[in-house]
Amino acid sequence: MMGRELITRGKLPGYRYSPGVVVGDTAYLAGHFGVDKAGSLVAGGVAAQGRQALENMRATLEAAEMTLKDVVSMRVWLTTYDGMPAFDEVYGAFFPVDPPARTAFMVENLPLGAAVELDAIAVRDSSEVKARLI
């Protein structure tokens, strides 16, 4: 039987959740926000919060001995579709080639009053792209 490893790095105070759970070679990352170490949203809207959320996600993955290159799927939650181009530019800087599968959702509100929230699934040592279907 495979156990769970809880990654608590970056946990927001006052909430009952784990920022990441690792089972075998797979990491399931909870919603990550664009917050600083004190848990406050960074200023600058979707682009700044998206950048910080991806940095926070990177740190959670490092705690699990993984990298962003191991991410195979990501969900993006935005409070307005108008923010998608700004987020997409930031996303492209973190995933310039062979990005993970991604789904985007537009929602009315996010916790903390955030403009963007990200969650992901990563698989250890999956960064090499072996085949492409065109």
| H or E element in which residue 57 lies | helix 45-63
Residue 133 lies inside a defined structural domain of this protein: no
For residue 85, being part of any structural domain is answered with: yes
Look at residue 115 and tell me if it is in a domain: yes
Measured distance CA(69)–CA(122) in Å, rounded:
8
Instruction: Provide the 3-class DSSP secondary structure of residue 37.
Output: coil
Domain-embedded: residue 95 = yes
Residue 134 included in any domain: no
The CATH number of the domain holding residue 63 is: 3.30.1330.40
Helix (H, G, I), strand (E, B) or coil at 11: coil
Q: How far apart are CA 90 and CA 11, in angstroms?
A: 23
Q: Structurally, how many domains does the chain consist of?
A: 1
pLDDT values of the chain reduced to their tens digit, one per residue, 134 residues: 578 998 888 777 777 888 899 999 999 999 999 999 888 999 999 999 999 999 999 999 999 999 999 999 999 999 999 999 999 999 999 999 999 999 999 999 999 999 999 999 999 988 776 666 66
User: Is 61 among the domain residues?
Assistant: yes
3-state secondary structure of 49: helix
Q: Give the domain extent around 63.
A: 4-8+24-123
The reply to whether 42 falls in a domain is: yes
Write phi, then psi, for 10 (nearest 5 degrees).
85, 10
Q: What is the DSSP string of 110-132?
A: -GGG-SEEEEEEEETT--S----
- Residues 73 and 92: their CA atoms lie apart, in Å, by 15
Does residue 52 lie in a domain region?
Answer: yes
